[in-house]
Amino acid sequence: MRFLLIVALVLAVLVLIGFVVGYNRIRSADVRVAEALSGIDVELTRRASLIPSLVHTVQTFATHEKGILDRVTDARAALTSATGGKSIAERSAAEKQLDSALVPLLALGQNYPQLNSSNNFLDLQRNLADTEDKLAFARQYYNDAVATLNRQLTTIPWMFVAPLTGVAEKEYYQTPR
């Protein structure tokens, strides 16, 4: 009888330890996902902060391109608003809108040679390219963190602990292309 009591106690302790370990792993993975999403937001904010300077630079050379400039300004505002939200799809859609608005703006350099020779314009283009590289890395890091979390939520033994953590599967960040 005493032996069965000890075995039951050891099993209870092992289950408790397994629960604590599983809970901590899942919560840690959830925190990594939140950190990764904030990394995307930092790069999107950095990118959005470059837009007013780019618009101003282009505006000084290409005064007849008001439609293009307005479209970029509107897309920047949508991206800024989406960055603070919770929806991954909304962020991605706003990023796609900004990407499509930037293409004709950056192409104006071919129509206005003096713009393409402007150091300020070239510097802004370099900064945008650098930011895009960092954004691609941040997206990949986020998707890796989501994959890890989702895997933990759906595999044994962690799937038994998952409902108790209050953490749900996360959606992947879709590249806005």
pLDDT tens digits, residue range 60-103?
A: 777 777 788 888 888 888 888 888 777 888 888 888 888 888 88
Secondary element (H or E) of residue 96: helix 88-111
Give per-residue pLDDT as tens, 35-66: 999 999 999 999 888 888 888 888 777 777 77
- 176 has pLDDT over 70: no
The number of helices, as runs of H, and strands, as runs of E, in the chain is: 6, 0
How far apart, in whole angstroms, are the C-alpha atoms of residue 121 and residue 114? 10
Q: Higher model confidence: residue 112 or residue 3?
A: 3
Band of pLDDT at residue 113, cut at 50, 70 and 90: confident
pTM of the model: 0.82
Angle at the Cα of 74 (from 68 to 76), degrees rounded to 5?
105
Least confident piece of the model among 97-106, 107-116, 133-142, 167-176: 107-116
Count CB neighbours of 91 within 10 A.
22
| 88-111 and 119-154 helices, crossing angle to 10° | 160
Domains and CATH numbers, the chain: 23-165 (1.20.1440.20)
pLDDT over 90 (residue 29): yes
- Rounded to a whole number of angstroms, the CA Rg of the chain reads 24
Mean pLDDT computed over 5-27:
92
- Model confidence pLDDT, tens digit, residues 119-139: 888 888 888 889 989 999 999
